[in-house]
Copies of this chain bind each other. A is one copy, B any other.
Amino acid sequence: MTEIVIHEVGLRDGLQMEQQVVSTEQKLRWIQSLLESGVDIIQLGSFVHPLKVPQMADTDELFKRVPASAEASGKRPVLSALVLNDRGLDRGLAVDVEMFCMGVAASETHSRKNTGRSVVEATEQIICMAQRALGAGKRLQVSVQSAFGCGYEGPVPESRVMGIVRRFLDGGIRAISLADTAGHAVPDRVEALFGAILDAGDDLECACHFHDTYGLALANTYAALKAGVKYFEASVAGLGGCPFTARAGGNLCTEDLVHYLQQTGARRDIDLDRLIALAKDVGAFFGREMEGSVHKVGPMGPADAVPQ
């Protein structure tokens, strides 16, 4: 069975969508809950220009302060960050980020809005950045964003995604993520596309990042699992959405994902109650009902008790 890795991205992909600024101290309290929950990777933020996304202005500070709390908790998840350009990579290297995430949009409109570059230009730039990160001994994940459709342009052909992925592979990248930024993925295409990528090499690892705009995030998760994807990105309370795409729904809810994986027996080691409490706390902070099911109705009960 595939070993499944949970990558919490709420602090980055979740919070960048929010107008209400979250203080560094508040983020640290949420990170403490995440540390105690036992999720595998926590994305602390992105190294983007603070004027562009003020919510991410304290990413450097978080990377300086969180490792000590992690040590004190006795928990040692990987801490990741998103970087968009060389300047961001410099900042990340300066604060010793363990895992770098970076990506290219498959749609021209999304690429230009996100980076000011065409898809081809952005791909070449990302490959250079990826090689710098690998050269520095860092963990790395490179994604194709809007891989299943674009909020501006609509459908994205599989051939275009595979073209970008092949360029990544030629550039020595072995961890490929597909991000469904606009929530356009359907499970049939998810299973086919990840299957095609994983067929391209025995040493590849795949990650997925789904948004639940049309209610399909968990269906797409199941399809990705079946295709052999190992890394699953999600946000507590379904926080999120991308400010650079039109009508992006929230991320797959971490607690709904963990609840599902508990029921199948794949991940019973994560503290779901802790994640549910965190989701409620996040909802109380923003003063609105958050996405997701399990933090509202509670878990279905211990799967350990399943008789056969």
Contact = CB atoms under 8 A, between A and B. Distances in A.
Pairs of residues from A and B, 6 with the lowest C-beta to C-beta distance, nearest first: A215-B293, A219-B219, A155-B306, A218-B219, A187-B222, A157-B307
Interface of A: 149, 154-155, 157-159, 182-184, 186-189, 212-216, 218-219, 221-223, 247, 249, 253, 256, 259-260, 263-264, 292-294, 297, 300-301, 303, 305-308
A155 B307 CA distance: 7
Contacts of A260: 186, 214, 216, 219
Contacts of A219: 187, 218-219, 221-222, 260
A105 to B, nearest CB: 16
Contacts of A307: 155, 157
Identical chains in the assembly: 2
A157 B183 CA distance: 35
Most buried by B among A189, A215, A223: A215
A213 B259 CA distance: 12
B308 A213 contact: no
Contacts of A154: 300-301, 305
Nearest to A248: B297
Most buried by B among A154, A183, A186, A303: A186
B305 A212 contact: no
Nearest to A302: B154
Contacts of A188: 222, 264
Contacts of A292: 215
Most buried by B among A184, A221, A300: A300
Given A155-B307, A157-B308, A293 B212 contact: yes
Nearest to A253: B215
Contacts of A222: 187-188, 219, 222-223
Nearest to A294: B214
Nearest to A266: B188
23 contacts: A154-B300, A154-B301, A154-B305, A155-B301, A155-B303, A155-B305, A155-B307, A184-B263, A184-B300, A186-B260, A186-B264, A213-B297, A214-B260, A214-B293, A214-B294, A214-B297, A214-B300, A215-B218, A215-B294, A219-B219, A222-B223, A247-B297, A249-B297
